[in-house]
Structure 1
């Protein structure tokens, strides 16, 4: 009798396992909220309600840094000599984006990588359309397109701690999607610590000597016969004051100027604070 009852229970459990997906809500668990739903085909692993919460920067108030709200930063006299022509960012760095980026960057949730890369790719497409429109109005040039992609490096200490450089992965994903070369161009020679705890002045001062060019990785002299400025797209995850991107850009421009090669730097970040 006990064997018969045990057999019946096993059959019930077997049937229940197969019926559960049919009786429950359709789809798969959303990466960000956990709700079982039909997931987005455009933004990997998240449901449509979470897609609708993405804080896109759609209306740009500052043409230089790409901020979606009033920006007093770019009006400061010391900001007139920035190394990059313009920055664009995909989303506002609100609590939701802070959570998504932190889960990936600090806690190693790898499943966020395709999602965050998809956000950056969409921002790149919008950036390309915007700059193409400007180029056609001013000079009737062909569509705007960078010649290569590079990224902000992390220190050896941070790399050992996290196991990866989030900016590098974003850049690699974008470069693959856009069919552009991704260059390992820079190295961080000092660990600047967490910038979020520093004032604006401290950030810029800290970043002055933080980066070096990897001359063995890319020889600017190869561009000597290039018939227009070399457009380089510099990638990072978060734009706060722009000090990190500006410091990287100045190092690149200095290396290029030593060989007499004109280089234009554009920057693209996942989030803008």
Structure 2
């Protein structure tokens, strides 16, 4: 038998040979500087720490929201059971906090919409006048360090507005955070006359990716924060009721026999709150905060 005929291999054209020396040098430069080592960069560490803080904050608010919903469903189920209400009456529990009952029934006090929360710092900072008008308006009433203002002055007006929104969303007005955001600012978003070297520009591109992920966390936090305070308030108010119920032997025995999951939830809430309150040199911290 004859040997099979094998088609000769066709050599691929070398792209590097077809490129000019200047193009090859530019490609090597871009490849070398595309992913700079930021392990020891201070601004990188600040942005990473802020991202970790916001991620933990968002996770805590989500956990509080889930626990609040579970607690409301639990109370609604128990209070709709006539047998449980009868047991409560026999043990002397004939009333509940009015605000908690209104919350469970979906009644919203019209006056709550008219409550005005004062700013943390009522007086305006004259140093904000060094920023663009819109950025100064966003940060009005907040106290910024002088070095934070200096860092923001090195940015363009549009970038100042972005940074002002990020500071407000994260409640972080420190000079270190402002400098880190300046380091993540590309050349075209810096103030006119602010000189940026090639190495700084490459680092800004790398830091901007961290800032983008941080910005997404700010958006999530902004969606959860409006109801977070109410969730904590009603959990604290309901926790006082749960503590009284679990301390009563007849009530907890009845719950364990008919609603074991609900009883376990109430006991866990009470035990964790009591353990945190008795811990040495620690302030009272309920399990849902």
Normalization by structure 1: what TM-score? 0.23
Which structure would you say has the larger RCO, counting Cα contacts within 8 Å and 6 or more residues apart? Answer: 2
Normalization by structure 2: what TM-score? 0.22
Structure with bigger helix share is 2
Structure with bigger strand share is 1
